[in-house]
Amino acid sequence: MDTRLENHVRKHRKADGLSQKALAELLGVSRQAIHAIETGAQVPSTSLGLRMARVFGCGMEDLFRLAADPGIRASLAPAAPGCGNSSRVALGRVDGRWVAHRLPPHGLTAADGILAGEVKGSQADVQPLADVGHLVRNVLVAGCAPLLGAVAQRVGRRYNDSRVTWLRAGNARALDLLARGLVHVAGMHFADRNGDAGTAAAARKALPGRRLLVVNLTRWRQGLIVAAGNPLGIDSGADLLRPGLRVAQREEGSGAYEVAARLAAKGKSAMPSDGPAAGGHGEVARLVRTGTADVGIAIESAALAEGLDFIPLADERFDLVVPEALATRKHVSRLLDAVDDPGFRAEVGHLPGYDGSLSGQVTTVEAA
């Protein structure tokens, strides 16, 4: 007997004013069989279930359906900026344990589950909103590249046995989540002049003793985003140090924050800190477009998407870091296959502000 099977035969029988004996006679079975079905002691055959649905004039799924998955115990990742105490979470299974990540409360990303009860420390009870067998297929990827959203869509379209959830995070947070076993993949971006050496060094330091793969997603330019026509005449990083300038603020540990810190150190002056906070490249651009900020550091594609001007500061590469042990798992390998697909490179080549010529290129980082 499937104890997770809900049945609503009794409700429909009562609504139609039928006794168990009357229903049994209509179906050609015993009254005891109807009693056993209603109490869950017996699961009817497909043929009998269809005949019941015909008697009641409903669909078979109105009579029988799988009960909701029971709650699961998950490791709860530290909340990302903008997520606060949201009860909506994304779920995935990393190295044999369930992991939950709070999602923004405004609901732009569909939730996999809802936090249930009181959260104690780093563990939480979660009520899944989908079949657990489906959630096991979810690959959790942390990073700030908007292109990760397109990758997630491509995996979902190409494979019916895997899916990807993009969790927005800067360099430091993404790598920390990977090191703590809270995501499958971390995305990072560093200056392109040294190839993938920057990514490899940071990954080796954060995950000592583990063999890693560094997979290129794309290359881009990072720089200053300013209003269309550049009315304030901003033309270099040094201009960020102007008194009174409203600079969009990125979180500490993000690539943009590190660029701003280097510019401030070079200018021997503190970077303005009274500008609005931005949670990602796209938000930096929106703050500038709406006049909430005068300038911000983000990638070129974000400026182009909002019709803004862009002053380049650095050529960068965005890489995915994956522990080799996870890279061989079916669902994670689906992600890597999608990034290495010629169709993906062709798509990236037609996206302004991105360079997909190295997409899918893999470098192995030996254990430190």
Q: From CA 58, how far away is CA 71, in angstroms rounded?
A: 30
Rounded mean pLDDT, 202-231: 96
pLDDT confidence bin for 183, thresholds 50/70/90: very high
Question: Is 343 strand, coil or helix?
Answer: helix
Which residue type occupies 276?
A: P
- pLDDT for residue 68: 61
Does position 305 have pLDDT exceeding 50, yes or no? yes
Both tokens of 191, joined, read: 């200056």
Q: Per residue in 48-67, pLDDT tens? A: 999 999 999 998 888 987 76
- pLDDT for residue 58: 92
pLDDT confidence bin for 69, thresholds 50/70/90: low
Q: Per residue in 324-350, pLDDT tens? A: 999 999 999 999 999 999 999 999 999
Which residue type occupies 196?
A: D
Does position 148 have pLDDT exceeding 70, yes or no? yes
Domains and CATH numbers, the chain: 5-66 (1.10.260.40), 69-135 (no CATH), 137-368 (3.40.190.290)
Instruction: Please report which helix (H) or strand (E) contains residue 295, including its range.
Output: strand 295-299
Both tokens of 188, joined, read: 């990072």
Does position 3 have pLDDT exceeding 70, yes or no? no
Does position 71 have pLDDT exceeding 70, yes or no? yes
Q: Are 142 and 99 in contact (CB under 8 A)?
A: no
Q: Which of 209, 174, 163 is nearest to 77 (CA)?
A: 174
pTM above 0.85, yes or no: no
Does position 2 have pLDDT exceeding 50, yes or no? no
Does position 4 have pLDDT exceeding 70, yes or no? no
Tally: H helices and E strands in the chain: 15, 15
Q: Are 279 and 188 in contact (CB under 8 A)?
A: no
Does position 1 have pLDDT exceeding 60, yes or no? no
Q: Per residue in 223-282, pLDDT tens? A: 999 999 999 999 988 888 888 899 999 988 888 888 888 887 776 677 777 789 998 999
Q: Which residues of 319-350 are buried (b: 16+ CB within 10 A; e: fewer)?
A: bbbbbeebbebebbebbbbbbebeebbebbee
Among all chains, which residue has been given the structure tokens 């979810």? 138
Q: From CA 222, how far away is CA 296, in angstroms rounded?
A: 10
Does position 99 have pLDDT exceeding 80, yes or no? yes
User: Strands, E, within the chain: which ranges?
Assistant: 5-7, 64-66, 72-76, 88-94, 97-102, 113-120, 123-128, 138-143, 163-168, 185-191, 212-226, 295-299, 309-323, 354-355, 362-365
